[in-house]
Amino acid sequence: MRILSLFIALFIASSLFANAFKLVKTPIIEVDKKGAWVKNSPYVPIGSSGVVIKKFDSKHSTIIAGAVVEKKEKDKMRIKFIMFDMLEQSALPPLRVMPQKGDMVILNYLYNRAFVIAPNEDTYLSVLSDFPEISWIHPDILAAFLSKEYNPAPKKEDFQKVCKQNTSMLLFFAIDKKGYFVDCNSFKIIKEENFTVKEANATLPFYSRIGKIESGLFNFSDSIKNYDSYYKKLLGIKK
């Protein structure tokens, strides 16, 4: 009976999480030079990002811009347009088409894949266990990028670059007694979870199997002295 209860609890938690980041498709209802308005959705938090799809005919459509949710007003959400360069091809000219009323916006885009930023292996494994519905990308990939760049203290731009390289738009930071889901494009916290970090010394800059990341001769980035303090500052967490 206890096992059945545990299974039901895990199923409910998984369903609630899946709904929290449900892929939402909605047409543009108003548009101007800086952004647009779309229908509000309880599944889309402020800071969520996505793409704008232009349909040319019954067989042809393409992504023409990125989008980030800026605010909500009653039954509408305000989105700003951003450049979408994830599928950029240097051999092809950029597609200069402005979004228009009726174009489709897809939000919570690529939230099914994410990176874990955790202080140690036990915490990393706990994240994977707690959120099995996400395809987790191993932090070794992020650490290898930083090692190649001789950068032991990752900044917002580093996370954003690796997200795009690995077709993901979601990060999970395990900090202190919380877990923070962060959108790669906006770098805003879009969901906060109660999450207990496993007691152990922190691996800096985060858990990976790469080992120590050396700093370059001309790299003057600040080194990370305290895992929690560094990532709280990076994410703008004041508590």
Same domain for 80 and 119, yes or no, is no
Tell me if the bond preceding 45 is cis, omega within 30° of 0.
no
Same domain for 54 and 95, yes or no, is yes
Among 136, 198, 172, 194, which residue's Cα sits nearest to residue 13? 194
- Residue 202 maps to which CATH number? 3.40.50
Same domain for 191 and 88, yes or no, is no
Same domain for 119 and 103, yes or no, is no
**Residue 11 pLDDT:** 36
Is 96 among the domain residues? yes
Same domain for 117 and 199, yes or no, is yes
Is 101 among the domain residues? yes
**End of a domain among 55, 73, 107?**
107
Burial of residue 72 (number of CB atoms within 10 Å: 0-12, 13-18, 19+):
middle
pLDDT over 90 at 197, yes or no: no
pLDDT in tens, 34-44: 899 999 999 99
Q: Which structure tokens are listed for 177? A: 């007694």
**Residue 157 pLDDT:** 97
When pLDDT is cut at 50, 70 and 90, the band that residue 219 belongs to is low
Q: What is the DSSP string of 125-184?
A: HHHHHH-TTSEEEPHHHHHHHHHHTT-SS--HHHHHHHHHHTT--EEEEEETTEEEEEET
**Residue 10 pLDDT:** 33
Is 50 among the domain residues? yes
Given the structure tokens 């990176």, which residue do they identify?
Answer: 115
Q: Which structure tokens are listed for 181? A: 């889901």
Is 142 among the domain residues? yes
pLDDT in tens, 75-85: 999 999 998 87
Is 81 among the domain residues? yes
Q: Which structure tokens are listed for 59? A: 């067989």
Same domain for 88 and 61, yes or no, is yes
Q: What distances in angstroms separate CA 225 from CA 147, 149, 152, 188, 203, one per listed residue?
A: 18, 19, 11, 24, 11
When pLDDT is cut at 50, 70 and 90, the band that residue 105 belongs to is very high
d(CA 192, CA 214) in angstroms, rounded, equals: 32
**End of a domain among 74, 107, 140?**
107
d(CA 67, CA 161) in angstroms, rounded, equals: 17
**Residue 5 pLDDT:** 35
Q: What is the tally of structural domains in the chain?
A: 2
Q: Which structure tokens are listed for 104? A: 């489709």
Q: Which structure tokens are listed for 55? A: 């349909």
d(CA 231, CA 85) in angstroms, rounded, equals: 26
Same domain for 142 and 173, yes or no, is yes
Q: Which structure tokens are listed for 170? A: 């979601």
Same domain for 169 and 56, yes or no, is no
Same domain for 87 and 174, yes or no, is no
- Residue 103 maps to which CATH number? 2.40.30.20
Same domain for 146 and 80, yes or no, is no
Is 7 among the domain residues? no
Same domain for 132 and 103, yes or no, is no
Same domain for 176 and 70, yes or no, is no
When pLDDT is cut at 50, 70 and 90, the band that residue 231 belongs to is very high
When pLDDT is cut at 50, 70 and 90, the band that residue 91 belongs to is very low
User: Which domain covers residue 127, as residue numbers?
Assistant: 113-235
pLDDT in tens, 120-160: 999 999 999 999 999 999 999 999 999 999 999 999 999 99
Is 86 among the domain residues? yes
**End of a domain among 85, 107, 129?**
107
Q: Which structure tokens are listed for 149? A: 């760049």
**Residue 54 pLDDT:** 93
Is 4 among the domain residues? no
